[in-house]
Amino acid sequence: MWILFAFGSAFFAGITAILAKCGIQKTDATVATAVRTIVVLLFSWLMVFLTGSQSTITSIELKTWIFLILSGLATGASWLCYFHALQLGDINKVVPIDKLSTILTILLALILFGEPVSWLKAVCIVLIAVGTYLMIQKSKTDTDRKSKSKTWLLLAIGSAVFASLTAILGKIGIENVESNLGTAIRTCVVLIMAWLMVLVTRKQKYVRQIPKKELLFICLSGLATGASWLCYYKALQDGYASVVVPIDKLSILITILFSFIVFKEKLSKKALLGLCMIVAGTLTMLL
């Protein structure tokens, strides 16, 4: 059953990237992140009350609180990096780099949880790494300015690093807490962090300037994120982190498909080969 939740997480995560990109055409990425986090928070706490797990909040241990908070901070950092990278770069380039968190998560799961890495999984890691490299190579028609290119690249790498920390810290944090409640608590941390960033950068004035159409996409992105999270952490709670994370990263297929439909972003032959390698490496990890 946890594998189904993992695939559900992948589907909603794939939609999230497209909806978010639509919502940050004119809207500042930090502001958009803060607004969409409100939607995720409402969605996650709604699920808590529907499942009746709010009554167990007083029994959560201090260690669990600490790791849930740390996981929330890592998530907030990953989001801020990811959506700024999306605003500056192409989805077809940003998303593959973000998926490198798969490799980092597997390595951390090996070190911290002792989850085995077979020779087959090692081959898969190489496939994903090489595939990502091929996807982010500049094409002859790439007109991005060098300064902008370097910025989105660094942000995308930061997103991957913090995403891997999110998975590991989240795995530890939800061992003794109901997954919906754990997700809701983490979201509170993300919300505080996101709005602090808005206030620190003095961008709160831009909240009222968000176009209605983009606000709609930002809210839809938040709903998709909430659904992805609930599936993801339920899968993490019941399954192996080294399996759940690769399945979740298959969201790249949905993202690439919709990026072509919505933004007309096409893959070069080299990038297509890279995508095939990433998917092949990810699917093989399930064996």
What is the pLDDT of the chain when averaged over all its residues?
A: 87
Residue 201 in tokens: 């950068």
Q: What is the DSSP letter of 250?
A: T
Give the pLDDT confidence of 72-81 residue by residue, as tens digits: 999 999 999 9
Residue 141 pLDDT greater than 70, yes or no: no
Q: Which of 122-131, 223-232, 248-257 has the highest mean pLDDT?
A: 122-131
User: 208 to each of 33, 35, 166, how far by Cα in Å?
Assistant: 14, 11, 31
Task: Name which of 212, 117, 223, 108 is nearest 168 in CA terms.
Answer: 108
Q: What is the pLDDT of residues 268-284, one digit of tens each?
A: 889 999 999 988 987 88
Count the domains in the chain.
1
DSSP 211: -
pTM of the model: 0.80
Range of the domain at 251: 2-284
180-190 mean pLDDT: 90
For residues 243-254, give the mean pLDDT: 82
Do 190 and 79 contact (CB within 8 A), yes or no? yes
